[in-house]
């Protein structure tokens, strides 16, 4: 047993060392101007996928269900095998659109929809926040296990609160000291990589100790398992419906390795070079194999040593503690602490970013009285991080030792599974649109709540069990655990089946039935094209007339940015834009350069508040004067002419809102008008085509009439000749007959 003070000081020292490593790395980058070029730090940081559920829970899973725990990693390895196709595309899109989170990625794909971004954020909060509670419970439980908590005044509540406050401080120090989350946190990622190495070393050390110190190797453990009737530990089918559960775990982990907010942040946002993905494709699976090598020996060792089966989650700590090996016990605690804190810090940072960008900031924009809070966005994220962790702590206290907290790991995986259709469909299916995405997300999330959360509430005693037996509204087909009569699968496989079915079905149906506007189709095309490995061109200077005052536009941009960024960050962003645009030192710029300036300004702002919010801010705050509006219309007219269009917008029909002090949304307005004109042109072309068909038919009729007339004329001529010939012959015969008659008369005379 250790004293509470000893363990707390050890934790503090350990995190101080990690923070020192992070600071050294960031100072090195500040001095040299570049970060690490090696892929190893990036690859090792991806092992944040392995939380305390891996460090502690895998052993408990193996003790009760045998080798079924491997399904969580087989699906993940399968997902990693496709990373060169999936993850690389996400990284390319992230570079173009300054993606900040998975909510930002999905919403940006679907025309920067704020509704989709908010919905994804809410799903992540509801699904992942209780999973943070599970990590806190693991840390507090392990803390109490290695300390003499029975004689200590620090009970579960006090020790849990202290650890939660530690996590809040660590999260802010490591990942939230600056606003722009798309600036790579190489210091934090390096510290995360160190944590991943430590938890691997700790777990392997415990495994070697159990296998070769407490027992005589794997053969001895296997023999004793069979002799004492614990062979289920190495059984493939350790539970009922094991086939369905294997498939379910593979599907869930396949999605989780890409959909979990922490995995998206580390794998996509923190990626500096897409070539590093090639290394990660084999390094991360190797890490998974190594950290799972001794899961079965540790689970078997705990059972064979007589430890209670319901405490199997903590066999990693209890076995060295039983053997009196304090050093190894403390190493195991640090390993489990590293597994939990890595997940907590990254997930809390990501969730607070998503919540501030897609929930809080849109509210501030819609409430003029609250806009004074926009410059304090970083502090708002600190507050959100504290609320997320304190909320998780409260959740852990309320549901300690309850069904919900025990099952929340897989329940969270089912929640983030709902991102897959919109995410993968948006990457590979060009017909996917915003209506399909929001329909699928709503349908899948609703089904998740009905099939998993309601049964959990019933088991918690909050809802009557009648809904499980009689169904919703008394309809037997609407039973949450046997929807439409599908029984016998188990709660998790049952929920995965129905949530995926309705999510994919609504996504496809919504995308096919809804016809998006021209602006969304254009944006979708641009987004899909951004996933190609073609190099980006940051600036496209033109030779058009430069009459627009650059200082005025810089002042306008500065006013916009200072509403969200610090003065220093604003200056850096504007300097970078003018340098990339090659207009530094110039007094005036051209209209095409102004468009590019605004595109790059939105690009820079998106790194701080998300793509959807940045687009909204630009539409609200950026204006064009009369000449600029006229030139924009002329520019679009020129583009339409170049594309072969014959009809242009009637300038007299443009409203006052579309001229003069026109907003940033002029481009979308013109695109909408062009789309309407294209439909009109297509309709007229169809009418012309129909008329041409009718005219051709009339030509054919006239031609046939002429042929018939000519034929009739020729027949008439022929008949006329025949008649004349007949008349001539008859006349000759008549003359001859007359002459023949007159001859006999003359002879008689």
pLDDT digits (tens, 9 = 90+) for 270-279: 888 888 999 9
pLDDT at 531 over 90: no
Report for 234-238, 347-351, 483-487: range of highest mean pLDDT: 347-351
Residues near 344 by Cβ (< 8 Å), separated by ≥ 6?
132, 135, 136, 167, 171, 389
Nearest to 138 by CA among 416, 505, 396, 421: 396
DSSP track, 268-292: IIT-S-TTHHHHHHHHHHHHHHHHT
Whether 503 contacts 440, CB under 8 Å? yes
pLDDT at 476: 83
Domain 4-25+40-408 architecture: Up-down Bundle (1.20)
Measure the CA–CA gap between 506 and 520, rounded to whole angstroms: 19
Mean pLDDT of 332-355: 90
pTM above 0.85, yes or no: no
Q: Residue 197 and residue 379: Cα distance in Å, rounded?
A: 32
Is the pLDDT assigned to residue 646 strictly greater than 50? no
Q: What is the pLDDT of residue 209?
A: 92
Among 293, 289, 290, CA closest to 211: 293
Please state, rounded to an integer, the average pLDDT across all residues of the chain. 81
pLDDT digits (tens, 9 = 90+) for 490-518: 788 889 999 999 999 999 999 999 888 87
- What percentage of the chain reaches a pLDDT higher than 90? 21
Looking at the predicted structure, is the pLDDT value of residue 639 above 90?
no
C-alpha closest to that of 60 among 347, 409, 411: 409
Q: 159 or 655: whose pLDDT is higher?
A: 159
Per-domain boundaries in the chain: 4-25+40-408, 548-664
Tally of CB atoms within 10 A around 122: 17
Q: Flag whether pLDDT at 454 surpasses 50.
A: yes
How far apart are the C-alpha atoms of 11 and 330, rounded to whole Å? Answer: 10
Higher pLDDT, 493 or 645: 493
pLDDT of residue 199: 93
Alpha helices in 582-665 (DSSP H): 591-609, 611-621, 626-642
Evaluate if residue 260 carries a pLDDT over 60: yes
Decide which of 735 and 212 is more confident: 212
Burial class (CB in 10 A: 0-12, 13-18, 19+), 564: buried
539 confidence band (pLDDT: 50, 70, 90): very low
Q: Which of 190-204, 352-366, 677-691 has the lowest mean pLDDT?
A: 677-691
Q: Which residue has the higher pLDDT, 610 or 153?
A: 610
């Amino acid at each position: 047993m250790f004293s509470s003070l000893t363990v707390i000081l050890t934790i503090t020292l350990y995190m101080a060392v990690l923070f020192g490593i992070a600071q050294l790395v960031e100072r090195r980058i500040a001095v040299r101007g570049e970060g690490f070029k090696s892929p190893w730090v990036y690859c090792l940081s991806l092992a944040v996928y392995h939380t305390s559920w891996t460090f502690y829970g895998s052993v408990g899973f193996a003790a009760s269900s045998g080798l079924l725990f491997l399904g969580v990693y087989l699906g993940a390895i399968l997902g990693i095998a496709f990373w060169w196709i999936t993850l690389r595309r996400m990284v390319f899109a992230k570079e173009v659109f300054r993606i900040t989170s998975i909510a930002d990625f999905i919403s940006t794909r679907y025309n920067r929809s704020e509704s989709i971004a908010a919905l994804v954020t809410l799903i992540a909060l509801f699904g992942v926040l209780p999973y943070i509670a599970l990590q806190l419970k693991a840390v507090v439980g392990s803390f109490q296990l290695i300390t003499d908590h029975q004689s200590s005044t620090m009970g579960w509540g006090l020790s849990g609160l202290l650890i939660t406050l530690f996590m809040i401080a660590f999260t802010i120090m490591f990942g939230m000291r600056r606003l722009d989350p798309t600036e790579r946190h190489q210091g934090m990622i390096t510290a995360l990589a160190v944590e991943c190495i430590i938890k691997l070393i700790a777990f392997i050390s415990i495994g070697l100790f159990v296998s070769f110190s407490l027992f005589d190797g794997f053969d001895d453990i296997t023999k004793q398992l069979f002799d004492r009737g614990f062979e289920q530990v190495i059984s493939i089918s350790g539970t009922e419906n094991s086939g369905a559960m294997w498939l379910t775990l593979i599907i869930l982990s396949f999605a989780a390795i890409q959909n979990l907010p922490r995995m998206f942040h580390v794998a996509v946002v923190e990626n500096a070079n897409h070539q590093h993905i090639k290394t990660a494709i084999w390094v991360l699976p190797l890490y998974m194999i190594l950290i799972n090598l001794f899961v079965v020996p540790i689970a078997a060792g705990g059972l064979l040593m007589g430890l209670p089966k319901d405490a199997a989650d903590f066999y990693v700590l209890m076995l060295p503690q039983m053997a009196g090996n304090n050093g190894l016990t403390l190493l195991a605690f640090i390993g489990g602490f590293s597994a939990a804190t890595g997940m907590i810090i990254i997930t809390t940072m990501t969730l607070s970013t998503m919540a501030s960008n897609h929930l809080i900031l849109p509210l501030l924009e819609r409430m003029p009285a609250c806009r004074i809070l926009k410059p304090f966005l970083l502090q708002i994220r600190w507050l959100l991080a504290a609320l997320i962790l304190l909320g998780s702590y409260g959740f852990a206290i309320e549901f300690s030792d309850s069904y919900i907290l025990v099952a929340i790991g897989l329940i969270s995986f089912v929640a983030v599974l709902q991102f897959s259709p919109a995410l993968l469909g948006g990457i590979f299916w060009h017909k996917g649109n915003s209506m399909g995405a929001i329909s699928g997300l709503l349908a899948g999330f609703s089904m998740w709540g009905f099939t998993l959360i309601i049964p959990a509430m019933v088991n918690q005693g909050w809802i009557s069990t009648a809904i499980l037996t009689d169904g919703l509204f008394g309809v037997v087909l609407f039973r949450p655990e046997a929807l439409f009569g599908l029984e016998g699968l188990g709660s998790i496989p049952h929920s995965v089946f129905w949530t995926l079915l309705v999510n994919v079905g609504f996504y496809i149906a919504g995308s096919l039935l809804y016809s998006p506007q021209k602006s969304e189709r254009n944006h979708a095309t641009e987004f899909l094209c951004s996933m190609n490995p073609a190099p980006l061109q940051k600036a496209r200077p033109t030779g058009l007339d430069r009459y627009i005052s650059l200082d005025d536009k810089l002042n306008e941009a500065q006013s916009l940015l200072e509403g969200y960024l610090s003065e220093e960050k604003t200056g850096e962003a504007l300097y970078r834009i003018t340098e990339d645009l090659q207009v530094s030192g110039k007094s005036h710029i051209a209209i095409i350069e102004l468009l590019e300036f605004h595109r790059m300004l939105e690009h820079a702002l998106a790194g701080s508040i998300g793509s959807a919010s940045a687009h909204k801010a630009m539409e609200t705050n950026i204006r064009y004067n009369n000449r600029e509006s006229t030139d924009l219309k002329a520019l679009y007219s020129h583009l339409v002419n170049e594309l072969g269009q014959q009809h242009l917008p009637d300038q007299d029909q443009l409203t006052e809102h579309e001229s003069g002090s026109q907003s940033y949304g002029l481009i979308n307005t013109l695109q909408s008008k062009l789309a309407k004109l294209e439909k009109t042109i297509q309709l007229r072309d169809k009418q012309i085509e129909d008329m041409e068909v009718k005219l051709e038919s009339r030509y054919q009729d006239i031609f046939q009439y002429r042929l018939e007339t000519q034929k009739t004329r020729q027949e008439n001529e022929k008949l006329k000749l025949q008649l004349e010939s007949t008349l001539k012959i008859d006349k000759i015969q008549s003359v001859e007959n007359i002459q023949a008659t007159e001859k006999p008369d003359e002879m008689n005379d």
